[in-house]
Amino acid sequence: MAYILYFRAMEKTNPVSAYKTSSSGVISLEKGKIPPQAVDLEEVVLGAMMIDKKGVSEVIDILTPDAFYKDAHKLIFEAIYTLFHDTQPIDLLTVSTQLKKGGNLELAGGDYYLIQLTQKVASSAHIEYHARIILQKYILRSLIRISSEIIEDSYDDSQDVFDLLDKAESKLFEISQTNIKTSTEVAQSLISQAKKKIEEIANKEGLSGIPSGFDKLDKLTSGWQSSDLIIIAARPGMGKTAFVLSMARNITVQHQIPVALFSLEMSSVQLITRLISSETELESEKLRTGNLNGYEWEQLNVKVKNLETAPLYIDDSASLSIFDLRAKARRLVSQYGIKLIIIDYLQLMTAGTNGKGGNREQEISSISRNLKALAKELDIPVIALSQLSRAVETRSTSSKRPLLSDLRESGAIEQDADIVSFIYRPEYYKIDNWDDDDNKPTQNQAEFIVAKHRNGAIDNIRLKFEGKFGKFDNLEEYDGPVQYESKINNELDDLRNSLKKNESPFRNDSPDDDEVDAPF
> Which of the residues are catalytic?
265
Residues 55-81 as b/e (b if ≥16 CB within 10 A, e otherwise) read bbebbbebbbbebbbeebbbbbbbbbb
Asked if 73 contacts 42 with a C-beta cutoff of 8 angstroms, the reply is yes
Give helix 322-336 / helix 360-378 axis angle, nearest 10°.
Answer: 20
Euclidean distance between CA atoms 117 and 110, whole angstroms: 11
Contact 288, 235 (CB under 8 A): no
Residue 58 · residue 127 · CB < 8 Å: yes
How many whole angstroms separate alpha carbon 66 and alpha carbon 132? 14
Burial 429-458 (b: 16+ CB within 10 A, else e): eeeeeeeeeeeeebeebbbbbbbebeeeee
Q: Which of 251, 307, 240 is nearest to 277 (CA)?
A: 307
| Nearest of 418, 369, 451, 412 to residue 209 by alpha carbon | 418
CA-to-CA distance for 100 and 106, rounded, in angstroms?
A: 8
Phi, psi dihedral angles at 16 (to 5 degrees): -70, -40
How buried is residue 200: exposed, middle or buried, by Cβ count under 10 Å (0-12/13-18/19+)?
A: exposed
| Under 8 Å between Cβ of 263 and 314 | yes
> CA 48 to CA 40: how far, in whole Å?
13
Amino acid identity of residue 55, one-letter, is G
